[in-house]
Each structure stands twice: as C-alpha cells, then as structure tokens.
Structure 1
Amino acid sequence: MRIAIEDLSVRLSGREVLGGVRLIAAEGEIAGLVGPNGSGKSTLLRTVYRHLRPHAGRVLLAGRDVRSMSTAQSARHIAALPQERGDDFEFTVREVVAMGRSPYKRAFAADGADDHLAVATALAQVGLAGHEGRSFGALSGGERQRVLLARAFAQQPDVLVLDEPTNHLDVRHQVELLALLRAGRRTTLISLHDLNAAASLCDRLHVLHEGALVASGPPREVLTPGLLAEVFGVRAAVLEHPLTGDPLIAFDHRAAADF
C-alpha cells in the first residue's frame, strides 16, 4: 500500500516541530527519513502510526486518511517499531511477539493456527527461533530490539514504520535486518542515523531539517557533499561503494563543515 503525507504540521507544547511536510512511500518502496537530531523524523513517524495527531494535514494509506480508520483497522495495515523499546515487559519472548496478532483477534481470544504460524515465522526471520520461552526483561538490548521487530513482522502489515531499528544491534544483525527489509519489499518508512545504511537500503530518501522537508529523491541524487555540509554540518566526499556500487559517504572526522 502507498503512504502519502500531505501538508503535515505537528505542534508539541505550542511549538511547531513539523511544518507543511509532503512526501510519499510508494507501494513496495523503502523510503528513508534522514536528518539531524531534532529535525522531526520521530514526530513524523509517530503521526503515521497515530501516536500523535497532526495540527494540520493528512496521512493517507492507499488514499484513505488513517484518522478515519478504527485503531484495529489501522493496526492491520500499519505496524510500528518506535524508539521506546518497553524494556520493562514482564513477558516471555513469545508473548511479546504474539502481541502483534492482537488486531486480528477478539479480546482474550486464544491464539489460533494462523497466530502460531505468524509468531514462529517472525521469530525465525529475526534469528530468534527457539528462544520463545526466554524472559524479555532478561535479554540484551540487541535481542530485545529483534523481538520487537518480530512483533511488527507478526502483525503482517502492509506498511512498516521503523524508527531507528538498527539501534542496539551489532554489525552482523544490522546487515541481516537491512537485507531482510530489502528482500521483503513491503512499503516501509524508516528513519536512520547511519547515512551509508540509508543509501544502501532505501529506494528514496527524504531529508528533514528543522521541521521542514529540504530534499527528496534517490539516495545518489540526495546525498551530495553540499547537502551534507548544509544539513548535517559535516565535510564529506560521496564515493562509489567498491562492493555494491551504492553511494558511500566518506566523512572528514578532522573538520566540521565550516571550512
């Protein structure tokens, strides 16, 4: 399903943190949100999965305003992984992942065969098959992140909304997660701090700066030395990755962009 954000503005505590943002994630496309801390990435994503109500504008799912849907309806289509991980869950791994099935069930209904299969498949996708009985609270940060990703996968949504999903993951699991998202070809809105990961993963990048959208397009067109200097305040060269051919950003760690 296609996600379209139309003239979105969000105010928090009387301050506008997003203003007039327009962007899309086409069906089956991975669209990345990049920008400095405080640029509005998480706020935008929270609005998409209805944690925040916009002051103006709309979020459209296949042409329909998500605010016109019931909570259960929108949850059948959109699954989110926010930055807040819920570290205090007193549940097993399986119980946490099974929460992703709640949009399809009546309150207190037992899991059916479809639920069991969805949970098992999701755990296998994130490399945690066989860990169903472990306590979520006893897991490492990276393991918790993978469990919460499995919960989103178990929801079997049309759209994934992921806010810094590689946080707490080691390099191997970062690479595996990005490969999994790439192979799945599900419509995805994802925020990433790692610009090289964003360049490798995303079909389209949207750059936010001080609550405004300042650039959109394929990574090769968006990630220019000029934009990196203006938006991120860094000096960098954009090269070709020797293994993949993707844009590769080489940062000058000895100098800021005010050269």
Structure 2
Amino acid sequence: MNVEIEDLHVGYAGRDVVAGVRLLAASGEIAGLIGPNGSGKSTVLRTVYRHLRPAAGRVLLAGTDLRSLTAAQTARQVAALPQERGSDFELTVHEVVAMGRTPYKRAFAGEDRSDRETVAAALAAVGLAGQGARRFAALSGGERQRALLARAFAQDPEVLVLDEPTNHLDVRHQVELLTLLRAQRRTTLISLHDLNAAASLCDRLHVLHAGRLVASGTPREVLTPRLLAEVFGVRAAVTDHPLTGDVLIAFDHREAPSTAEG
C-alpha cells in the first residue's frame, strides 16, 4: 500500500511547523524521515496515524484520502508507535499487545484463539516470547518499547508508522529491530536520529529541516557531506560500510562543519 503526502501544512499557535511537505512511501518500502530536532518529523507522522489534522494538504493511502476513512478503517490499515508512550498501564504485557486486535473486534467481544496466536507471534517477533503474564509497568524502558512494537505488529496493518522506535533499545535489540523491519517488508514510515541506521534500513529517505522537505532519494543520493553540514551542522565523510556495503557516515568530532564540501 502506497502512502503519499501531498502539500502538507500543519500549524500550532498560528504558525506553520510543517509547510508544503510532499513525500512517498511506496508499497513494501521503508521510507525514513530524518532531520534535526524540531524539523517536523513527528508532526508529519502524527498526521498519518490521525493524531493531528492538517491545516492543508492530504495523506493518501493507496490513493484514498485518509479523511474519507473511519477511525476503525484507518486502524485496520495503519499501526503506529508514537514517541509519547504510556508507562503506567496496570495491565499485563499480553493485554497491552492484545490491544492491537481491537480494530477487528466487535464491542465487548472476547479474545479468541486467532487473537491469542497473533499476540504470541508478535511477542516472539520482538523477543518477548513467554513474557505475556508480566506487568507492563514493571518492564524496563527497552522491554516496554518492544512490547508496544508487538502491539503494532498484532494489529496486522498494511502500514507501519514508527517514531524513533530504537529509543531505549540497547545495540543488540536495535540491530534485531532493524532486521525484523526489513524482513516484514510492510510499507513503513519511520523517523530515526541514527543516520547510519537510517542509511542501512531505509529504501528512501526524506530530509526535513525547519518544517520543510529539503531532500528526498536513496540514502546514497541524500546523505552527502554538504547536506550533513547544512542540515545537521556536522562535518562528516561518507563511505561504504565494510561489512554490508551500505552508506556509512564517519563524523568528525573535532572540527566545526564546513558547507564547502560536496
């Protein structure tokens, strides 16, 4: 399922925080949103999972305007892992993950065998097999992150919207998460601060700066020394990863950035 964002404008307190953004996540593609803090990444993603209503522009799912769908119809197609995540659920891990089945249930309907199997598979996918009986509030930050990702998987969506999903994860679980997302091959919109992770994971990158889209393309097309200096304010060399051949960014931690390099 394609996700297209057309001329998106979102404002707070009378000013645009996102202005004229156009971007695409093609069917089965992982599209990354990168940019400095405050560049508008989370705001764009919130419009896709309907937490925000844009002042202008459209979000299209397979060519259908998101605003023409009911909340239930959207929930069957789009699952989100936002940055603002609850941590005080007085629920078990299984119960939290089972919330992902809600769009498919009638009011007050109980959990059936298919739901239980889906929840178990989602927990196993994120490395929490056998942990369903634990209290969600007792989990570590990284475990909560993985449980909430399992909830998104249990929703069985066409589209995943993930806002900084590697936050709170140690290196091993970051690598496992990125490997899992590649294997899923669902249409995915994801924001990441780790540019090397974005280069490795994403088929396409969209760069936001001050609420505007400033570059789009493959990681190799987008992640140039000039862009890294101009947008992120860092001096860096771009080379090939010795193990994977992906783009690898080597940051200079000693000198100020220069925008003169191409």
What TM-score, normalized to structure 2?
A: 0.98
The equivalent of 1:184 in structure 2 is 184
2:249 matches 1:228: no
2:108 matches 1:77: no
Alignment gaps of 5+ in structure 1 = none
| Alignment of structure 1 residues 166-177 onto 2, 5 Å | 166-177=166-177
DSSP-derived class of the 1:208 partner: strand
Q: Distance in 1 between matches of 2:142 and 2:52?
A: 27
CA offsets, 1:133-171, max 9 Å, x none? 000000000000000000000000000000000000000
Q: Distance in 2 between matches of 1:254 and 1:84?
A: 34
CA offsets, 1:102-133, max 9 Å, x none? 00001221011221111011000000010000
Alignment gaps of 5+ in structure 2 = none
The equivalent of 1:254 in structure 2 is 254
Q: Distance in 2 between matches of 1:201 and 1:227?
A: 19
DSSP-derived class of the 1:37 partner: coil
Q: Distance in 2 between matches of 1:231 and 1:255?
A: 16
CA offsets, 1:191-223, max 9 Å, x none? 000000000000000000000000000000100
The equivalent of 2:42 in structure 1 is 42
Q: Distance in 2 between matches of 1:13 and 1:19?
A: 14
Q: Distance in 2 between matches of 1:67 and 1:83?
A: 23
DSSP-derived class of the 1:230 partner: helix
Q: Letter of the aligned partner of 1:225 in structure 2?
A: P
Identity %: 78
DSSP-derived class of the 2:252 partner: strand
2:67 matches 1:67: yes
CA offsets, 1:16-38, max 9 Å, x none? 00001000000000000000000
* Moved segments of 4+, more than 6 Å: none
The equivalent of 1:53 in structure 2 is 53
Deviation at 1:241, TM superposition (A): 0.3
DSSP-derived class of the 2:253 partner: strand
Q: Distance in 2 between matches of 1:243 and 1:85?
A: 35
Deviation at 1:258, TM superposition (A): 4.8
Deviation at 1:255, TM superposition (A): 2.1
In the comparison of the two structures, how many residue pairs are matched?
259
Q: Letter of the aligned partner of 1:209 in structure 2?
A: H
